[in-house]
Amino acid sequence: MKVLIVGGVAGGASAAARLRRLDEGCEIIVFERGEHISYANCGLPYYIGGVITEKSELLLQTPQSFKARFNVDVRVKNEVIAIDPELKSITVRDLIKGVTYSETYDKLILSMGAKPVMPPIEGIESERVFSLRDIPDTFRIKNYIENNKPSSALVAGGGYIGIEMAENLRELGMDVNIMVRSNQIFKPLDYDLARCVQNYMSDKGVGILLNSATRKIEDNGRLTVTLSDRTIETDMLIMATGVTPETELARDAGIELDSRGAIVVDSRMRTNKNDIYAVGDAVEVRDFVTGEATFVPLAGPANKQGRIAADNICGIPSEYTGTQGTAILKVFDMTVATTGLNERTAKAAGIDFDKTCIYSNSHADYYPGATRMLIKVLWDKKTEKIIGAQIAGFDGVDKRMDVLATAIRFGAKVTDLTRMELCYAPPYGSAKDPVNMIGFVAENIVSGKMKQFFWDDVATLQNDENALLLDVRTNSEVHRGVIEGSMHIPLHHLRENIERLPNSKRLYVYCDSGLRSYIACRILSNLGYDTYNLAGGYRLYQTVVRQGTTVESSCPKCGS
C-alpha cells in the first residue's frame, strides 16, 4: 500500500508515524511545501520572546530523523499543486529543482493546516507588518527585533497568538498595545472572565484597545496605524486576527468544503472522495457538546485525527468523536483555561443552561503560597450535564480544567463533581478541592437551597424598590469599595441585626467571594427571607464593572 500525505506538523506527522507503527511494509511519502516537517508551532512566540533560546528546540523531527526512525520518505520544499481523485494521483512541484512530477497513491491524507487571515488593508505589505504561522515567520520577526531594536509594538487580535505575542514582546521591554474588534479579548471566555485577563494584562503594562479595527497602515520609518477610533505610532505590527483553512488544493479537486472553507469529513476523517482523508486545522469538526459543525484549529485534535485516519487506512475502525475546544493559555504569570461551551455559544445552540462562579484557593490556605482561581461552570438545566468551564488563576488551573474537561467528555452531571476523589496534600490542594467546591455550589442551586444573582443584575436591582442589596463583609473590606445602595451588616453580627431587614423585600446578599454570603443566605432563608447570593461575590463584580481589579486582590499569594 502506498500512502501520500500532504503537509506535516501535527496532523500529517502523527498520521505518518502511526501508519508506520501499524504497517511496516507501507510506502509512506510526506510532502511539505516549507523547509520543516514537524515543529513546535505552539512554542514559536516563546522563541521570539527568548524563553526558548535555541532554534533546534523548535524542530521536533527532521526529514532525516523521520527517515531513520519511521522509514518515511519526507520531501520538504515540495509543493503539491494538484490532486486527481479519478486517477488517484497528485502533481508536485519541486521548489528546489524547479521541476514538476506526479505520484500515484492508494490512500491520500490532506493536512494542509490553516493560514493567517491578512485583511486587505492599505499598507499591510510593509516589512514592519508580520504574521506568525511557521518557523520562517518566527525567524523574520526575531531577526527584525534583533536588528532594529524596536521599542513599541501593536498586536492586532486577542486570541492565542495575539496574547502570547503581546506577553513576549512586553517581556522584551517593548511598549505593547493589543487591539481587538469586539468588547473583549480571548473569545472562548465569557466577558466576566475576559475582564480578569484584560485587567491583569493592563497591570503588566499592556494597553488593551477594544472595539477597534485597523483601517490603514503607513510606513515612514515607523508605522502609523489608523484605527477605527484613533491613530497609533508603533515600530512593528503583528497581525494575529485569526486563521482560515488552507484548502484551495482540496477545492480544486472537487473535495467538499463547508462555508468556512474547511474540508468536510466523516467521523473516520474521510472526505467525499474515495481514499482521500483530511485531518488537522484544515477540516470541519463536530462540537462535542452540541454536535454542530464547527472549526476549532488546535494541536491536540489534529494529532488525534492523524492517528484516526491512519487507523482506518490500516483497517482498524476508529472514530473522531468531536472537539471540546479544551485549551490553556499563559498570560504572564496568570493561567487561563477553557473547555466546552461558553454562555454565547450555549445560547446560540439553544441550550437552557445554568451557571455559577466561585473563587477557590489553589491549595490549602494555611500552606504558604496559595493563590486564588476564578472558576466558572455551565450546565444543562434539563440533564444537569456540564457543558462548559472556564478558569482564570495562577497555580493549579491546568489540573482542575483537565478534571472538568474529562467530566464533560464522559457525560458527568455538575452534581457528580461533589463525589470526585482528588489528590490532596496541603502543598497541592485542599480536602475540598476547587472542583468539589464548584460541585457543592451547583448542588445547592440544583436542589433549591440557594438562588443566585450575577454581576450584570446589579444595575437593575439598584433601581428595584422591592430589592435590598445586603453586604455581609467586614468593615475593612467595605472600606475598599461597595456596591452603591447596599446595606452593610457583617456576617458575624447578622443574627443580632435581623430586625433591620424588612421581610417585604427580596434580599440580594454578597461578600467578597460568595462563601460568607451563602452562609448569610442560609441563616436568612431559615428565618423566612427570600434570598439570593451574588455568584463570584464583590470580587468578581468589581473586576468586571470597575477598572484595575484582577483575580487576585492586594496580596498576590493569600488574597487578603
Q: List active site positions.
A: 42
Between CA 318 and CA 212 the distance in angstroms is: 45
| Residue 12 DSSP label | H
Question: How many of the other CB atoms lie within 10 Å of CB of 415?
Answer: 18
Distance CA 84, CA 253 (A): 6
The secondary structure of residue 323, as a DSSP letter, is: B
Distance CA 164, CA 206 (A): 12
Query: Pairing state of beta strands 175-179 and 152-156?
Result: parallel
Cell of 226: 489608523
| One-letter identity of residue 421 | E
HEC profile for 471-482?
Answer: ECCCHHHHCCCC
Alpha helix positions (H), 492-535: 515-526
| Selection from 190, 549, 197 nearest residue 393 by Cα | 197
Q: What does the alpha-carbon distance between residue 538 and residue 545 come to, in Å, rounded to a whole number?
A: 10
d(CA 488, CA 538): 13
What is the 3 state secondary structure string of 246-315? CCHHHHHCCCCECCCCCECCCCCCECCCCCEEECHHHECEEECCCCCEECCCCHHHHHHHHHHHHHHHCC
Q: Please, which residues have CB within 8 angstroms of residue 191's CB and are 6 or more apart in sequence?
A: 183, 184, 544
Q: What is the DSSP letter of 404?
A: H
Cβ contact 480:560 at 8 Å = no
Partnered with residue 206 across adjacent β-strands are: 176
